[in-house]
Amino acid sequence: MKKQKNLQKSGGPSEGKSVQDSFLESWFQKEARAKKRRKLKKVICWSFLGAAAVGSLLTVKLLIPCYQYHEAESEQQAGNLFQAAALFGKAGGFRDAAQRSEALWGELRSSSGTIAAGERHTAAVREDGTVLAVGKRVNGQCDVSQWQNIAAVSAGEDHTLGLREDGTVAAAGKSGNGECDVSRWREITMIAAGGNFSLGLCSDGTVEAAGENALGQCEVSDWSEITAIAAGARHAVGLKKDGTLVAAGDNSWGQCEISQWRDICAVACGYYHTVGLRADGTVVAVGENDCGQCRVSNWDDVVSLSAGHYHTAGLRRDGTAVAVGADSDWQCHVSKWENLTDLVCGASHTVGLRTDGTLIALGWNDDVQCSVESFTQIRLPGERKEEE
């Protein structure tokens, strides 16, 4: 009895627990506490890593745009406007990057035209203001070797126009309808060669025209406040300051039904279709669509356009290209092109200008209009004439 009382006092087996049970209970309690500590350490560790990651992400989001912004400024100061526009765009919402990017793209569009593609020929302005041309020569459309001080070129069906630095215009090729009668034009800031007619944008926003006028494509004398022009087979389009358009000429396929378009910043004319670039980088099109040349509603991030007879091509902000329409001669196989600063469409060929001043071309080549591999030192959009 005495022994039993002592056991009860000591809390031993009389409480229903053996020494082994007590040991196990104690061990499990210690393990539970250790598990909690390990879990807490893990939470603290992951919290620290998460905070570090967030901090790194914030740092990246701040530092990279800052770097791109200052790189863009350097490129702009060096005169590399295309690279500057692209870098400002990548800098996103940093400072006034977006606004500066859009301003530069606008300047580049207005100064483009250093390459041109006609029905069967291609022309390009070199850094020194001279011009190279390849392709069909039967009508003299490639006789441009003597041209000097040229800022831009445009190619029609069988003729070529060259805009001189002084605002006058040179012309070569077939002139059966007077499309090359441009020697009296003055203060021209932009040129556009159509099928058998020519357009010239004057510095005061009016437009000159010469050549075939059977369908009224040259009836542009009442146009005003024009900032850009484009010419198709037999229709003409003008872009106004307010982002709207005017048109004249052949409307058999509805290619002139553009009066409802708004916020347009660039325009191009194909044979029987018209395409417009909106300020937000999307594209609209009207006219003949038998080959899918007007299927551009899903395009975005586009900065410039060109249209061939039955295909349409666009230059994207990242220097790549997109194209739709007739592709029988692979003129739309441009998805692998990169480092472009401009592109143009001929009748059935497409030509791209790279950032290094070389050209690339695809499409119909029966008259060697795509043989541009030897072209070098082609002037980039926005680039000034190379000083002698």
**DSSP string across 197-241:** EEEEEETTS-EEEEE--TTSTT--TT--SEEEEEE-SSEEEEEET
pLDDT at 87 (0 to 100): 77
pLDDT at 99: 83
Q: For the chain, what is the radius of gyration of the CA atoms?
A: 34
CA–CA distance from 344 to each of 56, 111, 139 (Å)? 43, 14, 22
Query: What are the tokens at 237?
Result: 């389009």
Q: Could you report the per-residue pLDDT of 95-133, keeping only the tens digit for each?
A: 888 888 777 767 666 656 999 999 999 999 999 999 999
Distances (CA, A) of 187 to 166, 167, 198: 7, 4, 15
Q: What is the pLDDT of residue 104?
A: 72
pLDDT at 103: 79
The predicted pLDDT at position 148 comes to 97
Regions of the chain where pLDDT drops below 70 = 1-62, 82, 105, 107-112, 384-388
For position 24, what pLDDT does the model report?
Answer: 59
Residue 188 DSSP SS3: strand
